[in-house]
């Protein structure tokens, strides 16, 4: 046998011997998951993403690593959604309201005063109706895992306390990029201006807008109290967040990997809801301590707001589909002890 053949044979033998170790070395290279979100690391959103990351790494024995990337460093919700659809990013959490452009049924969750309590919200979102809406994402290249709680939204502004509907007249109010929010606040007389969350603080600071609406947790964690004087408690809508993954990427995972992610998503949902509610319970006192002037709409004024906003419901029902709308109203009536 010539020298060249002998050398080649020896090299081939060595490679064959090393193959399992190379394979094993490749095996331990962790699967990296980029998880983008819009609030900061200290927010309820950031704390829940951190817990999700820790749970995935532990459950996968280090074979799956989640890189939590907050403060909209990967872009606003709508940009991250496109990155997931294209497969350039693996995971995100964001508002269901910013998903309406992709899946119109998500507008169901924008309905003013849809839920009267977090108990109702959990029951519907985690039940068949929430799953049905979530499943609609798949035809658009996204997979919804769980809903988290953003929370009941309230108004802040620099002009005046909102004690009655007329006080909203002419206030430049930032809203999420979503037609229901736009229509709702135009109906209430505000000058509604859609902006991504990532631009909100600077828009408030430069007085490009006078006010905004968000749950207490976000007003606290995003330090809106530094640039807003009045907080008016309206609880005008319950806003969910939703944890989504790229379907392109999800479909390439093993069943075991998908189970690790789904189990961690459910654990993070339960953690996030409790953490958010605990924080919200003391947020008013915290915000008062930061100098905000707080008022609560009277039941009569709240009823006026509800009545005025039912005008948008017909548009939502037509948009999401009467079957889904009717099913939701029926499920809520049942929860409330109705027929």
Say whether 274 sits in a helix, a strand or coil: helix
Q: Does residue 237 belong to the site contacting ligand KDG (CB under 6 A)?
A: no
Which of 184, 239, 246, 328 binds ligand KDG (CB under 6 A)? It is 239
Shortest spacing between CB 195 and ligand KDG, in angstroms: 8
Nearest to 36 by CA among 241, 191, 301, 254: 241
Shortest spacing between CB 211 and ligand KDG, in angstroms: 12
Which of 38, 46, 112, 144 binds ligand KDG (CB under 6 A)? It is 38
Shortest spacing between CB 160 and ligand KDG, in angstroms: 21
Q: Does residue 234 belong to the site contacting ligand KDG (CB under 6 A)?
A: no
CB atoms within 10 A of CB 268: 26
| Nearest CB to ligand KDG, comparing residues 77 and 149 | 77
Shortest spacing between CB 77 and ligand KDG, in angstroms: 5
| Nearest CB to ligand KDG, comparing residues 182 and 253 | 182
* Residue 70: C-alpha distances to residues 46, 91, 241, 243, 299 (Å): 7, 12, 15, 14, 38
Nearest to 181 by CA among 229, 92, 109: 109
Shortest spacing between CB 139 and ligand KDG, in angstroms: 23
User: Do 179 and 197 touch, CB atoms closer than 8 A?
Assistant: no
Mask: binding to ligand KDG, 70-109, rule CB under 6 A, as x and -? -------x----------------xx--x-----------
* Token output for 158: 């620099």
Shortest spacing between CB 75 and ligand KDG, in angstroms: 10
* Residue 97: C-alpha distances to residues 78, 181, 197, 232, 286 (Å): 10, 9, 12, 22, 27
Q: Does residue 319 belong to the site contacting ligand KDG (CB under 6 A)?
A: no
| Nearest CB to ligand KDG, comparing residues 60 and 90 | 90
d(CA 200, CA 174): 8
Mask: binding to ligand KDG, 142-181, rule CB under 6 A, as x and -? --------x-------------------------x-----
Greatest Cα pair distance in the chain: 99
User: Do 300 and 177 touch, CB atoms closer than 8 A?
Assistant: no
| Nearest CB to ligand KDG, comparing residues 94 and 112 | 94
Task: Tell whether the torsion through CA atoms of 69, 130, 278 and 269 is positive or negative.
Answer: negative
Helix axis angle, 118-125 relative to 128-135, nearest 10°? 60
| Nearest CB to ligand KDG, comparing residues 39 and 267 | 39
| Nearest CB to ligand KDG, comparing residues 260 and 279 | 279
| Nearest CB to ligand KDG, comparing residues 43 and 60 | 43
Which of 147, 148, 185, 197 binds ligand KDG (CB under 6 A)? It is 197
| Nearest CB to ligand KDG, comparing residues 98 and 328 | 98
* Residue 111: C-alpha distances to residues 28, 130, 225, 335 (Å): 47, 14, 27, 17
User: Do 150 and 115 touch, CB atoms closer than 8 A?
Assistant: no
Chain contacts with ligand KDG (rule: CB under 6 A): 37-39, 77, 94-95, 98, 150, 176, 197, 214, 239, 241
């Amino acid at each position: 046998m010539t020298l060249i053949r002998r050398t080649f044979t020896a090299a081939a033998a060595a490679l064959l011997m090393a193959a399992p170790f190379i394979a094993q070395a490749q095996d331990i290279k962790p699967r990296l998951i980029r998880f983008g979100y819009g609030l900061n690391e200290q927010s309820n959103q950031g704390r829940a993403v951190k817990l999700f990351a820790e749970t995935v790494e532990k459950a996968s024995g280090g074979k799956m690593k989640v890189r939590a990337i907050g403060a909209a460093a990967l872009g606003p919700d709508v940009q991250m959604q496109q990155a997931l659809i294209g497969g350039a990013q693996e995971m995100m959490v964001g508002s269901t309201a910013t998903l309406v452009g992709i899946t119109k049924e998500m507008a169901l969750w924008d309905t003013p005063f849809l839920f009267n309590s977090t108990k109702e919200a959990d029951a519907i979102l985690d039940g068949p109706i929430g799953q049905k809406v979530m499943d609609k994402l798949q035809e658009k290249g996204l997979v919804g895992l769980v809903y988290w709680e953003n929370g009941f939204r309230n108004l802040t502004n620099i002009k005046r306390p909102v004690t009655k509907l007329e006080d909203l007249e002419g206030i430049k109010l930032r809203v999420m990029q979503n037609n229901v929010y736009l229509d709702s606040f135009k109906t209430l007389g505000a000058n509604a201006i859609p902006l991504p969350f990532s631009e909100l603080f600077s828009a408030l600071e430069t007085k490009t807008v006078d006010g905004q609406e968000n749950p207490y947790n976000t007003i606290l964690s995003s330090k809106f109290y530094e640039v807003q004087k009045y907080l008016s408690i309206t609880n005008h809508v319950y806003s969910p967040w939703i944890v989504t993954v790229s379907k392109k990427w999800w479909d390439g995972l093993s069943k075991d990997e998908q189970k690790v992610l789904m189990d961690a998503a459910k654990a993070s949902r339960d953690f996030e809801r409790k953490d958010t509610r605990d924080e919200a319970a003391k947020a008013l006192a915290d915000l008062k301590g930061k100098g905000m002037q707080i008022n609560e709409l009277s039941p009569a004024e709240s009823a006026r707001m509800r009545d005025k906003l039912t005008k948008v419901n017909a548009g939502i029902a037509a948009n999401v589909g009467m079957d889904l709308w009717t099913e939701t109203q029926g499920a809520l009536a049942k929860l409330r002890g109705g027929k």
